Amino acid sequence: MTQSVSPTFPSLRLPQFAGESLPSVVTAQLHHPVTPALDDVVRATRNALEKSKRFKQLAAGSTVAITCGSRGIKSKPAVVQTAVAWLQERGFQAFIIPAMGSHGGARAESQTALLAELGYTPESIGCPIHSSMEVTQLGMTSQGIPVYFDRTAFAADAVLVINRIKAHTSFDREIESGLTKMIAIGLGKAEGARLIHRLGALGYLEVLPEWAGIAIAESPIAYGIGIVENAEKEAAVIEGAEPEEIMSVDARLLPIAKANTPKLPFGQIDVLIVEQIGKNISGTGMDTGVIGRSDIRGRPSVDNPLIHKLAVLSLTPETHGNGLGLGVADFMTADVANSLDLYAMYMNSCTSTFTERVRLPIVLADEQEVVRAAVATSWRLDGASVRLCIIRSTLHLDYVLLSPSLISELGEAGDVVGETHDLDFNKDGRLTTRCPE
């Protein structure tokens, strides 16, 4: 069995940053456009399933595979649990399959463990979980790329695809992350993810939709349920889709999802401190739509906001050392560096082919060293005047910490909460001035 491989970095301190002045901060509550949340997720899920034509034609005793991915989608466990109960009430044998490409180091047992951490267990969901990396070939794309599909799912009588619809972290197109991507990369398993990404941007922009179309036509996919979240991560839309409607539903709901995506209300930030990154937060550890950095060679970077220096303080426990996304940062701590699982990180990055995103930033001894270095290198003569923003993660943007220079630009985008105070560090160099939860 492949073991995790972690590096060992020294506790490096650069003397020129020892006396660096730091700006004070104040908590701000940001205002985001919010589509009202659904009153009843269970009822909305049941209503969507009642519209399925194929489930009405499916014989009692039929097996139904339900997809679950690797993202921490707040409402999805309830949607999946409701779908399992609905299917069982009709005499179907439901089971869960991990649909997450190469995540978890492309290991079946690791993908089952990831699902458990996200709230999907046989006990919580009410049905078995069948995890395997084996695939069946369904056809060939026009570029000569074989189309693979989860073998366990293919052997089922029906497949129910459930996923959140949202913006992709790298590409802007009519269909980005949603049901279509779940079919191609999720159900394509590690080999499918590798082949689709092998052509880089072309693979995602052209190969993926054709691949998904072939999979829909040649597999037992019976229905899809798309979830759109509002800015507070509550389910705002739950909509069903017949197989032939999956791509059109993805395209129609994507603008709604994008309109509900929280943003930082600034065009330029000198220093952005991100308290946590991880695969459960975003496919790239931190949402590139929030930080404005995509860093894919040959593809334009949005750079909105334009961030001069970006520092990462920790990884989420759920990411298990997969630091994908660190390549877009400028600084990190030795604790972060030494907690990396290089095997999982490199496997994920090489599968996607976007190897730039696992390059390691400057590694310094602790959070105090990292913050001082970021401020000192942010192109401001006086550290106390730096335009500093601290966020809990790119998934949590309700409350942020801002320096006075950014507060003056906040306007109607948010409200100041509390008093201005200095950044504080404990004896171990850990930043104790944190964003409220």
Same domain, 254 and 355: no
Q: Is there a single domain that holds both residue 229 and residue 122?
A: yes
In a domain, 427, yes or no: no
Residue 9 included in any domain: no
pTM over 0.85: no
Final residue belonging to a domain, choices 211, 227, 259: 259
- For residues 146 and 266, state if they share a domain: no
207 with 301: CB under 8 angstroms? no
Considering the domain architecture, whether residues 131 and 90 belong to the same structural domain is answered as yes
Taking a C-beta distance cutoff of 8 angstroms, is the pair 236, 41 a contact?
no
CB 130 within 8 A of CB 115: no
244 shares its domain with 292? no
pLDDT digits 0-9 by tens, 120-173? 899 999 999 999 999 999 999 988 889 999 999 999 999 999 999 887 655 566
- Domain-terminating residue out of 259, 284, 319: 259
| Domain encompassing residue 109 | 41-259
Predicted confidence band at 349 (pLDDT cuts at 50, 70, 90)? confident
**Tokens representing residue 43 in the block:** 């009822």
My answer on whether 306 and 251 are in the same domain is no
> Is the same domain home to 121 and 80?
yes
At 72 the pLDDT is 67
374 and 244 part of one domain: no
pLDDT digits (tens, 9 = 90+) for 179-207: 988 898 889 888 877 777 676 666 666 77
* 406 assigned to some structural domain: yes
Give dist(CA 83, CA 81) in Å, integer: 5
The structural domain count of the chain equals 2
Task: Tell whether the model's pLDDT for residue 21 goes beyond 80.
Answer: yes
**Count of beta carbons in the 10 Å neighbourhood of residue 147:** 26
Q: Is residue 178 part of a domain?
A: yes
Q: Is there a domain that residue 275 lies in?
A: yes
Q: pLDDT confidence of 1, banded at 50, 70, 90?
A: very low
Report yes or no on 293 lying in a domain: yes
Q: Is residue 437 part of a domain?
A: no
253 with 267, same domain: the answer is: no
Both 174 and 226 in one domain: the answer is: yes
Q: What percent of the chain has pLDDT over 90?
A: 62
Distance of alpha carbon 87 from alpha carbon 69, whole angstroms: 20
Q: pLDDT tens for residues 296-310? A: 665 556 667 899 999
CATH classification of the domain holding 74: 3.40.50.11440
Model confidence at 354, in pLDDT bands (50, 70, 90)? confident
278 shares its domain with 319: yes
Domain end residue (candidates: 225, 259, 293): 259
Same domain, 229 and 299: no
Question: Has residue 335 been placed in a domain?
Answer: yes
